Structure 1
Amino acid sequence: MAEKRWHSIKQQHCDHVGCAVNLEVQVVLPSDYLPEQPPRIIGHRCSKGLQCSLFTKPSCVWAGTNPGYDPFMDN
């Protein structure tokens, strides 16, 4: 059976929250009987996404509130 896990891919400073955040992706690992399949990324999140979504203005794609803005794209 396939397995879902969250993996941290990067740690950066976020200006919106004012501290370091972990950028994470949700990966589906293939089952044991299909080992040649690569893992699939099915989601992404920020470790401080809940705090960002409580602010009055939308933040970014990692928090899930503004899909058109990724502040970590150029870094």
Structure 2
Amino acid sequence: MATVRWVTVQEIWCDRVQAPAALLEERVYADDVQTDMTPYQVRARRCSHGKICNMEGYRCRWSFLNPFYDPFGVDD
């Protein structure tokens, strides 16, 4: 059985909400990792303020309203 965990990958300042925001990844860790495999797979990404921004209409990839705009410039 795989282990699923949300992991903070970066903490940034968000000018839109005027507060620190955590950028998170939902990682799936396999039970039996082999040497030629990556230790996890990223299944989803989100921001700790994503729901607030979504409700306020702030459009960015972290609020799931505009997948082409990343105000934090985080590379995939």
Q: Percent identity?
A: 31
- Structure 1 segments (4+ residues) deviating >3 Å: none
Tell whether 2:36 aligns with 1:35.
Answer: no
Compare the two structures and name the one with the higher helix fraction. Answer: 2
Partner of 1:7: 7
5+ residue gaps, structure 1, are none
5+ residue gaps, structure 2, are none
Counterpart Cα distance in 2 of 1:72 and 1:30:
30
**How many pairs are equivalent?**
71
TM-score normalised according to structure 2 size: 0.84
TM-score normalised according to structure 1 size: 0.85
